[in-house]
Chains A and B, each alone.
Chain A
Amino acid sequence: MTDATQPASRGPMLAADGTPLKKSLSRALRMQKMRALALIAPLLLFVLITFIAPIADMLFRSVENQIVSNTMPRTARLLADWDGQGVPDEPVFEAAYYDLFLAAERKEHTRLGSRLNYEQTGASSLFRKSGRGLEDMGELYQDQFTDLNGDWDEPEPWAEIFGDPEWLAEQAAWDGEGRMPRFQLREGAETLLPRSAEHYAAFARFTQTEDGDSPLEEEPWSAVHTALYQDLAAADLSGYDGPRAEMLAAADALVDSPEFSRLPFTDGFAEIDEAWVQPQIWQTLKLYSPDYTPGYFLNAMDMQLTPEGMEKRPENERIYMLLFGRTLFMSLAITFSCVLLAYPVAYLLSNLPSRSANLLMILVLLPFWTSLLVRTSAWKIMLQQQGVINDTLVWLGLVGDDARLAMINNQLGTIIAMTHILLPFMILPMYSVMSTIPPSYVRAAKSLGATNWTTFWRVYFPQSVPGIGAGSILVFILSIGYYITPEIVGGTTGTFISNRIAYHISTSLNWGLAAALGAILLAVVLVLYWAYDRIVGIDNVKLG
């Protein structure tokens, strides 16, 4: 106690418990901060989990592009080394065959087709068609093996050739309950018949996990037959004495004989669709095989990714930059018209006696409590060519019956309807700022000899600027993301970028592009906010 009251020259000031005051103070402050943080923690977590995280997840889609390398991993790897000239070689077609076959079994090939269709028209049906066509390619070999020996169409021989004996016994004993014993490759199968072992294992695991069936009871896919043909054509089986050695030896002899008909993968793909032997689809696949792509962002800026690099889209496909520009311009126009209309109203509200001010306030809030759709539709009835305003103008003789004004389904309609809808967001912050301006300032200015205009412009207006700033930010940010009103009254020239985002979210399912457009919109808003802070200063914004 005495220490704390002593002059500082006696050393560091100490708190009651003997610790230096500085330390004690900072500890207390830290405790206070922690307590404050703990108090807002529920809200912070809530916002993080339900707001920030989903937005981040959604925006991440604008660069994410793992679908190609996930669905066609072998092809993507080979295409990375391809020079992009002409059509790739046979090994790429081979990889594509096995990749697409598995994808088709998983029913993922059509997803990839829809994804690539955003970049190349026609990919959707090409992939859908190829899923069916690949089956036929493998059946060529499947039929020949089966004709040689019907056992090739049975599940057991395959399982015996490729399955680990221990696994075979466990699988045979499996009673259909509980977990199936996981398929294991027989030792040596992989070195002898590498391709077929790989594809049979893929088949067996797929059958076990996806279908819940035993590989002992399902005949393998025709892709496994294709792989076996490839292995037999390449391998020397003379030393093999494992299961079904005779069956394999006979098949080996068949494959080596001149009667055996084979089909190069390239020709097989060409039979499915000519598009496969043209460079375009392969270039698209190569361009979009990396896990992350700038493609969506380029699309969102009316550009496209080509083998030669980035380039502008053809004139008749450009739309997004136009829509971004229009969205910004119209949002500014709406903000400006809101300021013009709201200022006198807010001024009146704050200067009238409270009785009439309250009544006026209710009038301001009334549309606020009405459904957005109702207000928008009402404007449609008011503004259309056979609508109330045009009828009145014609009746008054101001416009001819055949020259009715077009006030809706265009930019004007959007600006009118949105100004009306967003007006309360401008009036309320203005009102709350204006009602804090002391009337004595105005009286003082006047008593010092200022004219009405000078009083307003030099004394009143500067004090109301924070309200204008707050209202403008609110209205501008709300209108830049507005969707439903422009959709209803905007026609073709009054729609916003958000209408296009909605189209990609709900109709074309191109969420990547929607995310890229959204990310750009967010960036534009942040940049404008930053500019506003630099020019006007964010401290100059007051909501009350």
Chain B
Amino acid sequence: MKLTKTLLASTALSVAAGAVAAQDMANSMTIVSWGGAYQNSQLKAYAEPYQALHPEVSIAWDESSAEAVAKLRAMTEAGNITWDLVDVEAADSIRLCDEGLAMEIDFDEVLAEGDDGSAPTDDFGDSLVSDCFIPQIVFSTTVGYRTDMVGDTPPSDICALFDTETYPGKRALNKRPLANVEWALICDGVPKEELYDVLATPEGQDRALAKLDTIKDDTIWWSAAAETPQLLADGEVVMGSTYNGRLFSAIAEQGQPIGMLWDAQMLDFDGWIVPEGLPEDRLARVMHFLEFATDTQRLADQSAYISYGPARASSAPLVGKHAELGIEMAPHMPTDPANATNVYVTQYEFWADYRDDIDAKFQSWLAQ
């Protein structure tokens, strides 16, 4: 009798506590992401499990990540922030953080510990590129090629891009300098460790453009990463750069005659930022969701839907099989040791400084 009473009382108490907590947290959330397969992987790995635990929460998705920086600035200026959590690339997160549009996060306070007990700051390690940025995935910009258009010697290193003798045909490259100028300098003989010192000088920038000039007439310049798999599938280009996940889906999910290079892949991160100036109840909900959505298991789960590597070190051993195809996903991760023999991690600090300068020169060169 006494036990029952205590139980009842404690249940009542915890229910009351739960009710209080629920009142403090908003029950709806707007998450901004990229749409497509990537957003779907977030929905399956983060949002649906979260909503299963907290059925009172409704999540609206907004596919605006490509314009997130500008829209967030406009929202902040208007004083009406309708987004709660925004998925952006690491480079954009630095800009948002600098502009005071994204909130600084105390990682060890907000995020869950790794499954192995490691502190979040250690577990995420180098992927914490900005004080506002909570990484989810590692992706890479790399090169895919038509297996039936490269003859008997498929390319094995990045400089095949510039080798129009052996691999005649069009290339597809990003309309922005990022990755292109790095690859140009690497193939022009600049050692890896001097790369950004060279690129910081006007002579180095001219050198990169001069190298790109050798394939300028053979290149179709894309502005959306989805264009390259399409151009490869149509046989418009013999090789082209895009994100590794796009190539994976063209190869494994659609069975296109496409192969891919891992050489000199440019590693990059994608993750969350929380807009600055959210009301308390919404902020509480976002933080609650973030802790869940960026824990070791959730990040590992995401790789069942898309071939991007989890940003946490502790998630790597948990990477399993593709949800539909049933193939092992680990060998398709950019961070897999077999793939990561020659990688370049995007230098965010460098690009934050030089983006406008190099982009102006690059666009001027393109337009000539």
Our pick among B69, B98, B220, B349 for the contact of A409 (Cβ within 8 Å) is B220
Within 8 A of B (CB), among A354-400: 384-387
Tell whether, in the assembled complex, residue B361 and residue A316 are in contact, meaning their CB atoms are under 8 Å apart. Answer: yes
The listed residue (A110, A326, A385, A487) touching B236 by CB distance below 8 A is A385
The interface residues of chain A lying within 8 Å CB-to-CB of B67 are 506
Determine if A386 and B98 form an interchain contact, defined as CB atoms under 8 angstroms apart.
Answer: no
Could you mark each residue 335-368 of chain B with 1 if its beta carbon is under 8 Å from any beta carbon of chain A, else 0? Answer: 0000000000000010011111101110111110
B108 at the interface (CB under 8 A from A): no
Are B349 and A125 touching (Cβ within 8 A)?
yes
B97 within 8 A of A: yes
Among A485-505, those with CB < 8 Å from B are 487-488, 491-493, 495, 500, 503, 505
The CA of A493 and the CA of B220, in the complex, are separated in Å by: 11
User: What are 28 A-B interface contacts by the 8 Å CB criterion?
Assistant: A107-B104, A108-B100, A110-B98, A110-B99, A111-B100, A114-B95, A121-B357, A124-B98, A125-B352, A128-B98, A316-B206, A316-B364, A316-B365, A326-B367, A385-B236, A409-B221, A492-B367, A493-B367, A500-B363, A506-B66, A506-B67, A506-B69, A507-B69, A508-B356, A509-B69, A509-B73, A509-B95, A509-B99
Write the nearest CB–CB distance from A68 to chain B, whole angstroms.
Answer: 16
A409 to B175, CA, bound (A): 12
Chain A residues 178 to 235 lying within 8 A of chain B, measured CB to CB, are none
Q: Which of B61-78 contact A (CB under 8 A)?
A: 66-67, 69-70, 73
Knowing A125-B349, A125-B352 touch, does A111 contact B367 (C-beta < 8 A)? no
Contacts of B356 in A (CB 8 A): 117-118, 121, 508, 510
The answer, yes or no, to whether A113 is at the interface (CB within 8 Å) is yes
Is there contact, CB below 8 Å, between B70 and A122?
no
B359 with A508: CB separation less than 8 A: yes
Task: Mark the stretch among A40-48, A248-256, A317-325, A444-452 that contacts chain B.
Answer: A317-325
Complex interface bits, B210-222 against A, C-beta within 8 A gives 1, otherwise 0: 0000000000110
* Interface contact A124-B221, CB-CB below 8 Å: no
Known: A505-B70, A509-B95. A121 touches B353 (CB 8 A): yes
CB-CB nearest 10 A-B residue pairs: A110-B98, A506-B70, A121-B357, A319-B364, A492-B366, A386-B235, A125-B353, A124-B352, A122-B353, A506-B67
Q: For chain B, give the interface size range.
A: 35 or more
Q: Contact check: which of B223, B361, B363 meets A487 at CB < 8 Å?
A: B223
Q: Which residues of A contact B98 (CB under 8 A)?
A: 110-111, 113-114, 124, 128
CA distance A474 to B136 in the complex (A): 47
* Least distance between A6 CB and chain B CB atoms (Å): 66
Instruction: Specify which chain B residues have a CB less than 8 angstroms from the CB of A128 in the assembled complex.
Output: 98, 352
Q: Mark B67-99, 1 if CB is under 8 A from A, else 0.
A: 101100100000000000000000000010111
Cβ < 8 Å to A, chain B residues 191-222:
206, 209, 220-221
> Given the complex of chains A and B, what is the CA–CA distance between A117 and B358 in angstroms?
12
Given the interface pairs A505-B70, A509-B69, the reply to whether A495 lies near B359 with Cβ below 8 Å is no
Which residues of B are in contact with A by a Cβ distance under 8 Å? 66-67, 69-70, 73, 95, 97-100, 104, 170, 175, 206, 209, 220-221, 223, 234-236, 349, 352-357, 359-361, 363-367
The smallest beta-carbon distance between A379 and chain B, in angstroms, is 14
Known: A121-B354, A493-B367. A114 touches B236 (CB 8 A): no
Asked whether, in the complex, the Cβ of B367 is within 8 Å of the Cβ of A495, the reply is yes
Residues of B within 8 A of A492 (CB): 175, 221, 366-367
Give A294-326 interface residues, CB cut-off 8 Å to B: 316-319, 322-323, 326
CB distance from B71 to the nearest CB of A (A): 8
What residues of chain A lie closer than 8 Å to B352, measured between beta carbons?
A: 117, 124-125, 128
Residue on A nearest B100 in the bound complex, by CB: A107
Partner of B355, one of A107, A319, A323, A508: A508
| B220, A491: Cβ atoms closer than 8 Å | yes
Q: Considering the complex, give the chain A residue whose CB is closest to the CB of B70.
A: A506
A488 cross-chain contacts in B, Cβ below 8 A: 223
| Beta-carbon contact of A111 and B221 below 8 Å | no
Given contacts A121-B353, A122-B353, contact A319 B70 (CB under 8 A): no
Within 8 A of B (CB), among A474-528: 487-488, 491-493, 495, 500, 503, 505-511
Which residue of the partner chain A has the closest CB to B95?
Answer: A509
Contact (Cβ within 8 A) B365 A384: no
CA–CA, A487 and B69, complex, Å: 20
Distance (Å) between the CB of A186 and the closest chain B CB? 33
Could you tell me the distance between the alpha carbons of A500 and B352 in the complex, rounded to whole angstroms? 19
Tell me whether B97 and A110 are in contact (CB under 8 A).
yes
C-alpha spacing A510/B235, complex, angstroms? 38
Partner of B364, one of A107, A110, A318: A318
